[in-house]
């Protein structure tokens, strides 16, 4: 999708998140529960913002783990 992989130039997480959300506004993402150690076949797929909301809601409601938006964004970034 893009070849910008060096995020270390961003010293502040906040700036990084703004940057990421701007380049990924139209981006797609996929998060699978089973990739994060859950015995669960739930998959959230679609627009990144929706995936973050839906996966976060699922892990909180079904697994009792409340991931922050920031943590979920990291999950998505690490998959790229
Ligand atoms: Zn799950």
Asked if residue 10 is part of any domain, the answer here is no
Asked if residue 75 is part of any domain, the answer here is yes
CA of 53 to the centre of ligand 1 (A): 14
CA of 40 to the centre of ligand 1 (A): 5
pTM value? 0.67
Q: What does the pLDDT average to over 63-68?
A: 95
Q: What mean pLDDT is reported for the chain? A: 83
CA of 61 to the centre of ligand 1 (A): 9
For 13-17, 32-36, 51-55, 61-65, which range has the lowest pLDDT when averaged over its residues? 13-17
pLDDT at residue 10 in the model: 61
Asked if residue 38 is part of any domain, the answer here is yes
Confidence of residue 39 (pLDDT cuts 50, 70, 90): very high
E-state strands within the chain: 28-32, 43-47
Asked if residue 23 is part of any domain, the answer here is no
Asked if residue 59 is part of any domain, the answer here is yes
Q: What does the pLDDT average to over 47-66?
A: 94
- Residue 76: phi and psi, rounded to 5, are -65, -45
- Residue 31: phi and psi, rounded to 5, are -125, 130
């Amino acid at each position: 999708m893009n070849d910008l992989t060096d995020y270390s130039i961003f010293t502040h997480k906040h700036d990084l998140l703004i940057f990421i959300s701007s380049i990924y506004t139209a981006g797609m993402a996929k998060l699978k529960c089973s990739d994060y150690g859950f015995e669960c076949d739930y998959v959230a797929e679609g627009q990144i913002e929706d995936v973050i909301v839906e996966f976060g809601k699922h892990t909180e409601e079904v697994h009792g783990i409340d991931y922050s938006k920031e943590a979920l964004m990291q999950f998505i970034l690490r998959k790229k």
